Amino acid sequence: MKPKSCLRGVATATTATTTTAALVALILGGAATPSRAAFTIEFDYSYDVGGFFTPTRQALMNTVASVLQARISDTLSAISPSGGDTWSAQFYSPADGTLTTVNNTTIAADTVKIYVGARAMAGATLGVGGYGGVSAASGSGGFISAINDRGQAGVAGNTDFAPWGGSISFNSSATWYTDTDPTTLENFAGQNDLYSVALHEVGHVLGIGTAPSWTALANGSHQLTGAASVAAYGGNVPLETDNGHFQEGTMSTVPGTATAQEAALDPTLTVGTRKELTDLDWAALQDIGWQVSAVPEPSTYALLGLGGVAFLGLRRRK
Ligand SMILES: [Ca+2]
Ligand SMILES: [Ca+2]
Ligand SMILES: [Zn+2]
C-alpha cells in the first residue's frame, strides 16, 4: 500500500478571498443530481477514539463527500466476504498512525470506504490521508477480482485506480474551523478550514499523489503528463519532487468560473482560507482513471444548490 500524504498548514497572512455564495452552492448542489451512478464515499468513524467528529463535523464530511459524488460516476464491484471468500483490509489507523488490519469488512457496490479520525500531529501538519491496501485475500475468482480492481479493467495496467478505500487523520491539536454551511464563506481568521483539508485528503485516498496510475503519469522531471491535466494547466504540470502533490503554488481555476485558485492538492493550506477542488484537481482525478463528468450547467447547479442548503440547515451546531 502507498504511504500516506499530508497537508501542511501555513500561517501566511493572506486575506481570505470572497467566493460568491452562488458558486459554492453550485458545487454542493451537484450532490443531488438524480441521474448519476451512485458513486458513494462512506466515512467510518470507528477509529475516531477521541470524539473529534462531532455531529456537526460529520455533517461537514458528508458535504465533502457530496462534492466528489457530484462528478464521479465509476461503477465499482462490491466486496462481499462470505463463507470461503475472505479478505483483510489494511490501512494506517486514524487514531495513531499504526498499520491496522480489519478482517472481512463489506464494501458496497460503487462505494469507497474511508476510515477517519484525528490525533495530535507534529508541527504544521493538518492532516494525512491515503488509500488502503489488502494484506490477505482468498476465495472465488470473482471475489478476488473485486478486491483487485473493483471491476475497473485498467487497474492492472496502471491506467485506472479503484481502491476499496483508505484512511484519513486530522491533527487534533490544530485550530479548526467547522463550517456548518460551506455554501457561504465567512471570516475564519486564525482557524484551519476542515472542509478544505478534508477535500485534500480525500483527493489522496482517491489517488492524487498516491495511486500507481498517478505515478505512471509522472515524468522524470517531476511533472504530471496526464492529458486532462495538461489541458487544464496548459502544459505538463509541475509536481513536488516526491511527486506526492502539485508543486507548491500551482494555480488553476474554480470549476465553472474564471476564478483563479491554488490547486487543492498542492502541499499547503493558508490559515484562514478555503480551497475548493480546482479544474486541475478534477483533471488529475480523470487522468488517474476516475470517470469525471463535466461541470453541470450553472442554472442546474444553482437550483440543486438550494436543496443542498436546505439539507444542511437541518444540522445543528454542537
Ligand atoms: Ca460558511
Ligand atoms: Ca475508473
Ligand atoms: Zn497532501
284 confidence band (pLDDT: 50, 70, 90): very high
At 4 the pLDDT is 52
Ligand closest to the CA atom of residue 246:
3
How far away, in angstroms, is 259 Cα from ligand 1 center? Answer: 19
| SS3 of the chain: helix, strand, coil, percent, to 5 | 25, 25, 50
- Name the nearest CA neighbour of 22 among 192, 259, 184, 181: 184
- β partners of residue 42: 113
Give ion ligand 1 contacts, CB < 5 A: 179, 181, 184
51 conformational bin, left if phi > 0, alpha if psi -120 to 50, beta if neither: left
Query: What does the pLDDT average to over 66-85?
Result: 98
At 148 the pLDDT is 97
Q: For strand 223-224 and strand 237-238, is the pairing parallel, antiparallel, or unpaired?
A: antiparallel
pLDDT in tens, 170-191: 999 999 999 999 999 999 999 9
At 298 the pLDDT is 54
How far away, in angstroms, is 137 Cα from ligand 1 center? Answer: 44
How far away, in angstroms, is 23 Cα from ligand 2 center? Answer: 27
Evaluate whether 205 touches 278 at the Cβ level (below 8 Å): no
Q: Which amino acid is at 158?
A: N
Asked whether residue 160 carries a pLDDT value surpassing 90, the answer given is: yes
Asked whether residue 3 carries a pLDDT value surpassing 60, the answer given is: no
How far away, in angstroms, is 76 Cα from ligand 2 center? Answer: 8
pLDDT in tens, 232-252: 999 999 999 999 999 999 999
Q: From CA 9, how far away is CA 188, in angstroms rounded?
A: 14
Asked whether residue 314 carries a pLDDT value surpassing 80, the answer given is: no
How far away, in angstroms, is 185 Cα from ligand 1 center? Answer: 5
Query: What does the pLDDT average to over 84-108?
Result: 98
How far away, in angstroms, is 37 Cα from ligand 2 center? Answer: 13
218 confidence band (pLDDT: 50, 70, 90): very high
How far away, in angstroms, is 145 Cα from ligand 1 center? Answer: 42
Ligand closest to the CA atom of residue 154:
2
Q: Which three cell numbers stand for residue 226?
A: 496526464
How far away, in angstroms, is 201 Cα from ligand 3 center? Answer: 6
How far away, in angstroms, is 274 Cα from ligand 3 center? Answer: 15
- β partners of residue 115: 44, 167
How far away, in angstroms, is 42 Cα from ligand 1 center? Answer: 23
Asked whether residue 62 carries a pLDDT value surpassing 50, the answer given is: yes
Ligand closest to the CA atom of residue 168:
3
At 10 the pLDDT is 72
Asked whether residue 55 carries a pLDDT value surpassing 60, the answer given is: yes
At 168 the pLDDT is 98
Ligand closest to the CA atom of residue 153:
2
How far away, in angstroms, is 72 Cα from ligand 2 center? Answer: 9
Query: What does the pLDDT average to over 87-106?
Result: 98
At 153 the pLDDT is 96
Question: How many Cα atoms sit within 13 Å of 145 on the Cβ side?
Answer: 9
pLDDT in tens, 21-37: 333 333 344 444 445 45
Asked whether residue 54 carries a pLDDT value surpassing 70, the answer given is: yes
pLDDT in tens, 117-154: 999 999 999 999 999 999 999 999 999 999 999 999 99
How far away, in angstroms, is 249 Cα from ligand 3 center? Answer: 13
9 confidence band (pLDDT: 50, 70, 90): confident
How far away, in angstroms, is 285 Cα from ligand 2 center? Answer: 9
Across all residues in the chain, what is the average pLDDT? 87
How far away, in angstroms, is 6 Cα from ligand 3 center? Answer: 4
